[in-house]
C-alpha cells in the first residue's frame, strides 16, 4: 500500500530534495510537485494525493489559504505544513485552516517519512507550543462560532499537560487512559479547530 | 503658536484686566460745605469741566446733602446749580417755590408744580397727604440725608435731556438701568455750564433767612453712572494688578513645565532610538560572527566531502557534521528573525520564544523539559535590549542544564504578577559547587547571567549543591 504524496514549494532545491526522498522511499509514491499554489489548486483535486507537503510561505496565496480551499472541497486530503522556522502564529493558523501538523524543513529524512505515515494513519502531531495556542484560542471570550465547539475537560487537561511538556505516553499515564485515547483527543481537538474555521468562514460569508 | 507669542498675549490681557472697568471721573470734591445764605453762590468748579450748547455727550453729576433747612423753614431754596457765567442753568435741590426736592430753571414745568421752570422730583418716600394718599414729592428733612445723581444727555442746539435719581442705589452691582422708576424724574433743561455754584437763601418775606442751610458734600462729575457705584476691593487697579501678576507667573510656570516635558520626551525618544541602534549593531555583530563562521564551516565540510568521496565512513562523518551545522545556523537565524521582526518587543513574545527555545533544546534529549507558563500574559512592551538580555539568561541556564546537569527533568517556570516577572529554572541533576574549580567557561557563564540580570534592573539567585540539583531564579520588576 503506497502513500500518495504531493509537494508544493517554490524553492527548487527543497522541492527536488524532498521529491528525491519520497521517490526513493518504499511505501511512498510521488504523484505531483508544484512551485506555485495556483497550479496546485487546479491539479491536486484531480490527483487526489493522501498527504500534501505544503510550504507555509508561498508567493501569492498563503500556504494555509491554499489548504483551506482544497479542504473545503476535498476533506480527505491531509496537509503537512513545511516551514523553515517554528513560527507559532503561522503554524496555528495553518492548523485552523485544516492542516494536520507541520514539519521543519530541516527535519531528518527518517523522521519526515515517519511523520507522513503518522498523518496518513490518522495521527496528528501536536507540540507543546501549539497545545498552548490551542488552549488560549478556546479560552477566548465566546463568539457565535466558538460556542459551537468547546473543549471537554479531558481535552483541556490533555492540552495543558502537553503544553507543560509531557509526552503522549506520560500524559496517558498521568490521566490513566490509553495512548489511543490520547491520540483521539488530538484528533477531536483538530476537528474542533477545523469546525471553527469552517463555521467562521460560513459566518463571514453570510455576513457578506 | 510660538512660546513668545503666547507670553505677550498673556501680558496684553493681564494689562487690560488691570485697567479698571470704569469710565472717568472728570471732577470730584469730597469736602463738606455748609451752604447758608449764599444767594449767588460762588463757582467751586474752577474751570475743571464745561459744556456748551454744541455738546452732544452724556455727563453724570452727583452730590450729597444733609438738609439742615427743612419744611419748617420754607420758603427757601438750596441748589446745586450749573452756571454759564452768571446765567443760571439747570439747578437741582430745593426750588424757590416748590417745598419738596425739586429742580428749577427747567425747560418744562413739572405736572405737580405751580411755578414755571420748576420740576418736583419723584421719591420713594413721598409725603403723605391728608386725603389718605401721597404728595408727588418728598419734603427735605435733616434726619434724612440724600444723594442726588442726575444725568445730562446733551443735545446740540436744543434742550438737553435730564434724568434725576433721588437717593439711587449706589451699592456694588447697581446699574443705571436697575434704578426704580419711583425715584426717577425726567425732563428737559438747558444744562450748559462752565461753573457750579451752591446757593441757599430764603425765598419768601424780608426777614426770612431760610433756615440753617444745607450741607453739600461728596460731589462729582463723571462720564458714567458706574463711576458713582461703590467699588469693591476686587475692582481696584492694585488688586487686579496683583492678580494679573499671579496669572502671569502661573502662565510662565506652565510654559516652563511644558517646555521641560517636551525636552524630556525628546530625550526619551533619542534614548529609544539609540537603544534600537544598539540592537541593530548587536544583530549585525552576531550575523557576522556566528553565522559567518557556521556557514564557512559547512563550506569546508563540503570540500572535505568531495575530497573523501571514496571513503564512505568519512562521508558519513562529514555529512553528519554538515547537517548539524546547518541546523545550528537555522536556529541562530531564527533567533535573529525573532529579535528583528516587528511585534516581538513584548513580554508575550518573549515568553513564547523562551518556551519554543526550551522545547527545541531538549527535543529528543533524555532530560525531559517541563514548562509552567501563565495563560494570561498582560500586554507589556519590552525594549529590545531588555528582551534580549532576559532571553540570554534563560538560554545560558538551560544550556548549562543540558550540558552539565545530567538531569532527568528540568523545570522552566514563568510567573507574571502585575509589573513583576519571575523565571525559575530548576533541575534534579548533578548540581554544582560554586567554589570548586568550575571551568572558566562555566564561571563566565554564571557571571554573564548575573551581569545581564543587573543590566535590566533585576536580580539573579543561584542555588545548588552537589547531588542536589540546581535552581536559577531570575526576578525583575518593571518600573512603568
Q: Are B200 and B77 in contact (CB under 8 A)?
A: yes
**pLDDT recorded at residue B405:** 85
Q: Are A3 and A25 in contact (CB under 8 A)?
A: no
**pLDDT recorded at residue A125:** 72
Residue of chain B minimizing CA distance to A136: B375
Q: Is a pLDDT exceeding 80 seen at residue A145?
A: no
**pLDDT recorded at residue A144:** 47
**pLDDT recorded at residue B64:** 94
CA–CA distance, A9 with A33 (Å, rounded to integer) = 8
Choice between B233 and A22, residue whose per-residue pLDDT is larger: A22
Instruction: Give the domain CATH number at A136.
Output: 1.10.10
Q: Are B374 and B337 in contact (CB under 8 A)?
A: no
Q: DSSP for B246-258, please give it.
A: HHHHHHHHHHHHH
Percentage, residues of chain B above pLDDT 90: 40
Question: From edge to edge, which strands make up the β-sheet containing A3-8?
Answer: A28-34, A3-8, A51-55, A78-83, A101-104
Residue B16 gets which letter from DSSP? H
**pLDDT recorded at residue B120:** 94
Domain boundary (A75, A94, A120) is at: A120
Q: Are residues A162 and A77 in the same domain?
A: no
Sequence-ordered list of residues with C-beta below 8 angstroms from that of B4, at least 6 positions apart, any chain: none
Candidates B319, B371, B427, partner chain A, best to mutate (most A CBs within 10 A): B371
Q: Are residues A9 and A108 in the same domain?
A: yes
**pLDDT recorded at residue A208:** 45
**pLDDT recorded at residue A183:** 83
Task: Report CB contact under 8 Å: A85, B337.
Answer: yes
Residue of chain A minimizing CA distance to B325: A106
> Which of A106, A128, A135 lies at the smallest CB-CB distance from B375?
A135
Task: Report CB contact under 8 Å: A85, B330.
Answer: yes
Q: Are residues A10 and A112 in the same domain?
A: yes
**pLDDT recorded at residue B17:** 67
**Chain A positions in Cβ-Cβ contact with residue B370 (cut-off 8 Å):** 164-166
Q: What is the pTM of this model?
A: 0.55
Give pLDDT tens digits for B340-366.
887 788 898 899 899 989 988 898 889
Arithmetic mean of pLDDT, B2-26: 70
Q: How many CB pairs under 8 A join A and B?
A: 41
**pLDDT recorded at residue B18:** 61
Residues counted in chain A? 208
Q: Give helix then strand counts, H and E, for chain B.
A: 7, 19
**Chain B positions in Cβ-Cβ contact with residue A134 (cut-off 8 Å):** none
Arithmetic mean of pLDDT, A158-182: 88
**Chain B positions in Cβ-Cβ contact with residue A136 (cut-off 8 Å):** 375
Distance from CA of B437 to the nearest CA of A (A): 34
Number of domains in chain A: 2
Arithmetic mean of pLDDT, B395-415: 92
Distance from CA of A128 to the nearest CA of B (A): 8
Sequence-ordered list of residues with C-beta below 8 angstroms from that of B239, at least 6 positions apart, any chain: B233
In the block, residue with C-alpha cell 494570561: B376
**Chain B positions in Cβ-Cβ contact with residue A85 (cut-off 8 Å):** 330, 333-334, 337
Using pLDDT thresholds of 50, 70 and 90, give the confidence band for residue B423.
very high
Residue of chain A minimizing CA distance to B360: A86
What ranges in chain A are assigned the alpha helix state H?
12-24, 37-47, 63-73, 88-97, 109-120, 128-139, 153-163, 168-175, 179-207
- Helix B347-361 × helix B384-400 angle, to 10°: 20
Q: Are residues A31 and A102 in the same domain?
A: yes
Task: Report CB contact under 8 Å: A106, B360.
Answer: no
Which of A116-125, B62-71, B436-445 comes out lowest in average pLDDT? B436-445
Task: Report CB contact under 8 Å: B356, A108.
Answer: no
Give pLDDT tens digits for A3-61.
999 999 988 888 888 999 899 889 999 999 999 888 999 999 999 999 999 998 888 77
Give pLDDT tens digits for B27-78.
999 899 999 888 888 899 988 999 988 999 999 999 999 999 888 888 889 9
CA–CA distance, B435 with B124 (Å, rounded to integer) = 108
Residue of chain B minimizing CA distance to A164: B371
Distance from CA of B319 to the nearest CA of A (A): 12
Q: Are residues A10 and A92 in the same domain?
A: yes
Q: Is a pLDDT exceeding 90 seen at residue B211?
A: no
Beta bridge partners of B198: B80
Domain boundary (A101, A120, A139) is at: A120
Measured CB to CB, residues of chain B less than 8 Å from chain A are: 323, 326-327, 330, 333-334, 337, 352, 355-356, 358-360, 368-373, 375
> Which of A85, A139, A165 lies at the smallest CB-CB distance from B359?
A165
Choice between B184 and B375, residue whose per-residue pLDDT is larger: B184
Q: Are residues A181 and A115 in the same domain?
A: no
Q: DSSP for A45-88, please give it.
A: HHH--SEEEEESS-SSS-HHHHHHHHHHH-TT-EEEEEESS--H
Q: Are residues A40 and A66 in the same domain?
A: yes
Q: What are phi and psi of B61, to 5 degrees?
A: -120, 145
Distance from CA of B440 to the nearest CA of A (A): 32
Q: Is a pLDDT exceeding 60 seen at residue A146?
A: no
Choice between A203 and A160, residue whose per-residue pLDDT is larger: A160
**Chain B positions in Cβ-Cβ contact with residue A165 (cut-off 8 Å):** 358-359, 368-371
**pLDDT recorded at residue B456:** 92
Nearest Cα neighbor of B203 from B191, B214, B195, B211 is B211
**Chain B positions in Cβ-Cβ contact with residue A129 (cut-off 8 Å):** 352, 355-356, 359
Give pLDDT tens digits for B216-225.
999 999 999 9
Give pLDDT tens digits for A122-144.
777 777 878 888 877 777 765 54
Cell, residue B80: 446745586
Q: Is a pLDDT exceeding 80 seen at residue B20?
A: no
Candidates B375, B376, B426, partner chain A, best to mutate (most A CBs within 10 A): B375
Give pLDDT tens digits for A86-115.
777 788 888 888 888 888 887 767 788 888
> Which of A106, A128, A139 lies at the smallest CB-CB distance from B359?
A128
Q: Are residues A142 and A112 in the same domain?
A: no
Q: Are residues A98 and A141 in the same domain?
A: no
Instruction: Give the domain CATH number at A64.
Output: 3.40.50.2300
Percentage, residues of chain A above pLDDT 70: 88
**pLDDT recorded at residue B314:** 87
Give the burial class of B28: count Cβ atoms within 10 A of its Cβ; 0-12 exposed, 13-18 middle, 19 or more buried. middle
**Chain A positions in Cβ-Cβ contact with residue B337 (cut-off 8 Å):** 85
Residue of chain B minimizing CA distance to A128: B359
Q: Is a pLDDT exceeding 70 seen at residue B163?
A: yes
Task: Report CB contact under 8 Å: B370, A164.
Answer: yes
Q: Are residues A176 and A103 in the same domain?
A: no
Is B29 strand, coil or helix? strand
Phi-psi region of B231 (alpha: psi -120 to 50; beta: other; left: phi over 0): beta
Distance from CA of B330 to the nearest CA of A (A): 8
Q: Are residues A99 and A154 in the same domain?
A: no
**pLDDT recorded at residue B255:** 84
Arithmetic mean of pLDDT, B119-133: 87
Distance from CA of A178 to the nearest CA of B (A): 21
Q: Are residues A16 and A51 in the same domain?
A: yes
Task: Report CB contact under 8 Å: A106, B327.
Answer: yes
**pLDDT recorded at residue B87:** 92
Give the burial class of A199: count Cβ atoms within 10 A of its Cβ; 0-12 exposed, 13-18 middle, 19 or more buried. middle
Output the CA angle B299-B301-B306, nearest 5 degrees: 100
CA–CA distance, A52 with A116 (Å, rounded to integer) = 9
**pLDDT recorded at residue B425:** 95
Look at the alpha carbons of B438, B444, B449, B455 in this order and tell me if their dihedral is positive or negative.
positive
**pLDDT recorded at residue B422:** 95
Candidates B330, B377, B408, partner chain A, best to mutate (most A CBs within 10 A): B330
**Chain A positions in Cβ-Cβ contact with residue B352 (cut-off 8 Å):** 88, 129
**pLDDT recorded at residue A12:** 87
Choice between A44 and B240, residue whose per-residue pLDDT is larger: A44
Distance from CA of A166 to the nearest CA of B (A): 7
Candidates A14, A17, A85, A139, partner chain B, best to mutate (most B CBs within 10 A): A85
> Which of B326, B333, B371 lies at the smallest CB-CB distance from A128?
B371
CA distances from A134 to A150, B188, B415 (A): 11, 98, 20
Is B93 strand, coil or helix? strand
Identify the domain containing residue A146 by its residue range.
Answer: 128-207
Domain boundary (A80, A97, A120) is at: A120
Measured CB to CB, residues of chain A less than 8 Å from chain B are: 84-86, 88, 106, 108, 127-129, 132, 135-136, 139, 163-167
**Chain B positions in Cβ-Cβ contact with residue A164 (cut-off 8 Å):** 370-372
CA distances from B136 to A191, B68, B113, B123, B125 (A): 106, 22, 10, 8, 10
Task: Report CB contact under 8 Å: B375, A129.
Answer: no
ipTM metric: 0.72
Candidates A91, A107, A160, A165, partner chain B, best to mutate (most B CBs within 10 A): A165
In the block, residue with C-alpha cell 427747567: B106
**Chain B positions in Cβ-Cβ contact with residue A88 (cut-off 8 Å):** 352, 356
Residue of chain A minimizing CA distance to B362: A165
Amino acid at each position: 500500500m503506497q502513500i500518495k504524496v504531493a509537494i508544493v514549494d517554490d524553492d527548487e532545491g527543497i522541492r527536488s530534495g524532498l521529491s528525491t526522498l519520497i521517490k526513493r522511499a518504499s511505501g511512498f509514491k510521488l504523484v505531483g510537485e508544484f512551485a506555485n499554489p495556483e497550479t496546485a489548486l487546479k491539479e491536486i483535486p484531480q490527483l487526489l494525493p493522501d498527504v500534501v507537503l505544503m510550504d507555509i510561505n508561498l508567493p501569492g496565496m498563503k500556504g494555509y489559504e491554499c489548504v483551506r480551499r482544497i479542504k473545503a472541497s476535498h476533506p480527505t486530503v491531509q496537509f503537512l505544513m513545511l516551514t523553515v522556522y517554528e513560527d507559532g502564529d503561522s503554524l496555528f493558523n495553518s492548523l485552523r485552516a485544516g492542516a494536520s501538523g507541520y514539519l521543519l524543513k530541516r527535519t531528518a529524512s527518517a523522521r519526515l517519512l515517519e511523520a507522513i505515515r503518522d498523518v496518513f494513519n490518522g495521527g496528528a502531531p501536536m507540540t507543546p507550543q501549539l497545545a498552548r495556542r490551542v488552549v488560549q484560542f478556546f479560552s477566548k471570550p465566546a463568539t457565535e462560532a466558538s460556542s459551537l465547539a468547546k473543549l471537554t475537560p479531558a481535552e483541556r487537561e490533555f492540552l495543558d499537560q502537553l503544553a507543560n511538556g509531557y509526552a503522549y505516553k506520560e500524559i496517558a499515564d498521568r490521566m490513566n487512559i490509553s495512548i489511543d485515547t490520547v491520540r483521539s483527543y488530538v484528533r477531536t481537538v483538530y476537528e474542533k479547530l477545523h469546525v471553527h474555521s469552517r463555521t467562521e468562514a460560513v459566518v463571514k460569508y453570510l455576513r457578506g | 503658536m510660538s512660546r513668545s507669542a503666547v507670553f505677550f498675549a498673556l501680558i496684553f490681557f493681564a494689562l487690560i484686566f488691570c485697567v479698571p472697568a470704569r469710565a472717568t471721573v472728570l471732577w470730584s470734591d469730597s469736602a463738606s460745605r455748609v451752604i447758608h445764605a449764599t444767594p449767588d453762590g460762588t463757582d467751586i468748579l474752577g474751570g475743571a469741566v464745561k459744556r456748551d450748547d454744541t455738546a452732544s455727550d452724556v455727563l453724570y453729576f452727583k452730590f450729597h446733602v444733609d438738609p439742615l433747612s427743612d419744611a419748617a423753614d420754607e420758603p427757601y431754596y438750596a441748589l446745586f446749580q450749573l452756571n454759564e457765567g452768571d446765567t443760571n442753568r439747570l439747578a437741582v435741590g430745593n426750588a424757590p417755590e416748590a417745598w419738596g426736592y425739586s429742580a428749577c430753571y427747567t425747560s418744562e414745568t413739572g405736572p405737580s408744580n405751580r411755578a414755571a421752570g420748576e420740576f418736583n422730583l419723584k421719591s420713594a418716600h413721598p409725603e403723605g397727604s391728608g386725603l389718605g394718599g401721597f404728595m408727588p414729592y418728598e419734603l427735605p428733612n435733616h434726619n434724612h440725608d440724600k444723594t442726588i445723581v442726575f444725568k445730562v444727555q446733551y443735545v446740540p442746539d436744543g434742550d438737553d435731556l435730564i434724568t434725576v435719581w433721588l437717593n439711587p442705589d449706589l451699592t456694588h452691582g447697581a446699574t443705571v438701568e436697575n434704578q426704580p422708576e419711583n425715584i426717577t424724574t425726567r425732563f428737559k433743561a438747558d444744562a450748559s455750564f462752565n461753573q457750579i455754584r451752591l446757593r441757599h437763601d430764603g425765598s419768601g418775606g424780608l426777614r426770612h433767612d431760610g433756615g440753617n442751610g444745607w450741607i453739600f458734600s461728596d460731589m462729582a462729575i463723571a462720564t458714567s453712572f458706574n463711576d458713582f457705584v461703590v467699588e469693591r476691593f476686587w475692582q481696584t487697579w492694585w488688586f487686579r494688578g496683583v492678580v494679573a501678576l499671579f496669572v502671569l507667573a502661573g502662565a510662565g510656570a506652565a510654559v516652563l513645565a511644558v517646555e521641560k516635558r517636551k525636552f524630556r520626551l525628546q530625550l526619551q525618544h533619542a534614548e529609544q532610538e539609540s537603544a534600537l541602534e544598539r540592537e541593530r549593531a548587536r544583530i549585525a555583530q552576531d550575523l557576522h560572527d556566528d553565522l559567518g563562521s557556521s556557514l564557512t564551516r559547512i563550506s569546508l565540510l563540503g570540500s572535505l566531502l568531495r575530497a573523501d568521496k571514496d571513503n564512505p565512513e568519512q562521508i558519513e562523518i562529514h555529512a553528519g557534521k554538515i547537517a548539524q551545522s546547518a541546523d545550528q545556523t537555522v536556529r541562530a537565524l531564527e533567533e535573529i528573525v525573532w529579535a528583528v521582526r516587528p511585534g516581538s518587543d513584548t513580554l508575550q513574545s518573549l515568553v513564547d520564544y523562551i518556551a519554543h527555545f526550551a522545547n527545541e533544546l531538549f527535543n529528543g534529549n533524555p532530560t525531559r523539559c517541563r514548562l509552567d507558563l501563565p495563560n494570561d500574559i498582560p500586554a507589556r512592551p519590552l525594549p529590545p535590549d531588555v528582551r534580549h538580555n532576559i532571553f540570554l539568561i534563560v538560554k545560558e541556564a538551560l544550556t548549562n542544564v543540558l550540558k552539565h546537569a545530567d538531569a532527568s527533568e528540568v523545570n522552566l517556570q514563568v510567573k507574571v504578577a502585575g509589573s513583576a516577572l519571575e523565571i525559575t529554572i530548576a533541575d534534579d541533576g548533578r548540581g554544582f559547587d560554586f567554589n570548586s574549580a568550575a571551568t572558566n567557561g562555566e564561571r563566565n557563564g554564571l557571571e554573564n547571567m548575573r551581569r545581564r540580570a543587573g543590566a535590566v534592573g533585576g536580580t539573579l539567585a543561584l542555588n545548588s549543591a552537589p547531588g542536589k540539583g540546581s535552581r536559577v531564579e531570575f526576578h525583575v520588576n518593571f518600573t512603568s
